Amino acid sequence: MRNSYLFTSESVSEGHPDKVADQISDALVDYFIGHDPESRVACETLVTTQRIVIGGEIRCPPVYDEERFKDTHGWAPGARDEIEQIVRNTVKRIGYEQAGFHWQTASFENHLHGQSAHIAQGVDAAEDKDEGAGDQGIMFGFAVDETPELMPATLYYSHHILERMAADRHSGAAPFLEPDAKSQVTLRFEDGKPAKATAIVVSTQHKPGYDKGEKQAELHAYVKAVVADVIPAELLGNETVYHINPTGSFEIGGPDGDAGLTGRKIIVDTYGGAAPHGGGAFSGKDPTKVDRSAAYAARYLAKNIVAAGFAKRCTIQLAYAIGVSKPLSLYVDTHGTGTVGDEQLEQAIGKIEKLGGLTPRGIRTHLALNKPIYQATAAYGHFGRKPEGDFFPWEKTDLVDDLKAAVAA
Residues acting as catalytic residues: 16, 18-19, 44, 57, 182, 250, 258-259, 264-265, 285, 289, 291
Which is nearest to 37 in space by CA: 324, 377, 288? Answer: 288
Residues flagged as binding site for L-methionine:
57, 115, 258, 289
Bind-site residues: 16, 18, 44, 57, 115, 180-182, 258, 264-265, 281, 285, 289
Q: Are 79 and 135 in contact (CB under 8 A)?
A: no
In 275-339 the beta strands, taken as DSSP E runs, fall at: 313-320, 329-333
Query: Which residues are part of a known binding site for Mg(2+)?
Result: 18
Alpha-carbon distances of 312 from 66, 121, 338, rounded to whole Å: 52, 42, 7
Strands 4-12, 97-98: pairing kind: unpaired
Residues contacting residue 127 through CB under 8 Å, at least 6 positions apart:
none
Q: Which residues contact 243 (CB under 8 A, 6 or more apart)?
A: 199, 200, 201, 202
First to last CA, the chain: 31
363 vs 133: CA distance, rounded Å: 11
Q: Which residues are annotated as a binding site for K(+)?
A: 44
Alpha carbon distance 286, 293 (integer Å) = 8
Q: Which residues are annotated as a binding site for ATP?
A: 16, 180-182, 258, 264-265, 281, 285
CA 76 – CA 273 distance, rounded (Å) = 43
* Residue 32 near residue 60, CB atoms below 8 Å: yes
Beta-sheet pairing, 51-59 with 107-114: parallel
